[in-house]
């Protein structure tokens, strides 16, 4: 399955459009990650625990979208858009959502 943020894939004409597909993941942050991230805010550096969680959530959302496209008969998704939002009380949860157009190339 080819995934692209562009509306087309160079050299691969779109044969059929199946429609919009999406994937969503909501993950909660835990106390340990919040505590270590606050230390990075104070002393500098990267909050690797948050980065790893964010990367995992993005991959899960893309995989969910990919599965939905495959179920439609698509072999590619074009025009992919990724969005990140904090939700829940005091922004304690992170939502990663993605959408694109399922196509056959």
**Would you kindly state where each structural domain of the chain is located, as residue ranges?**
2-104
Q: Which of 37-41, 72-76, 89-93 has the lowest mean pLDDT?
A: 37-41
Q: Which fold has domain 2-104?
A: Translation Initiation Factor IF3 (3.30.110)
Contact 94, 57 (CB under 8 A): yes
Residue pLDDT, tens place only, 57-86: 999 999 999 999 999 999 999 999 999 988
Please give the Cα distance from 64 to 68 (Å, whole number).
Answer: 6
Residues contacting 3, CB < 8 A, separation 6+ = 62, 66, 76, 77, 80, 100
Of the candidates 69, 61, 59, the residue with the CA atom closest to the CA atom of residue 25: 61
Q: What is the mean pLDDT of the chain?
A: 84
């Amino acid at each position: 399955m080819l995934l692209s943020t562009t509306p087309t894939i160079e050299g691969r004409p779109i044969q059929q459009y199946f429609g919009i597909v999406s994937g969503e993941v909501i993950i909660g942050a835990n106390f340990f990650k919040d505590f270590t991230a606050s230390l990075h805010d104070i002393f500098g550096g990267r909050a690797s625990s948050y980065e790893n969680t964010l990367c995992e959530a993005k991959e899960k959302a893309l995989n969910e979208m990919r599965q939905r496209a495959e179920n439609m008969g698509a072999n590619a998704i074009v025009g992919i858009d990724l969005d990140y939002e904090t939700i829940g009380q005091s922004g304690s949860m992170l939502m990663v959502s993605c959408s694109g157009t399922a196509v056959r190339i």
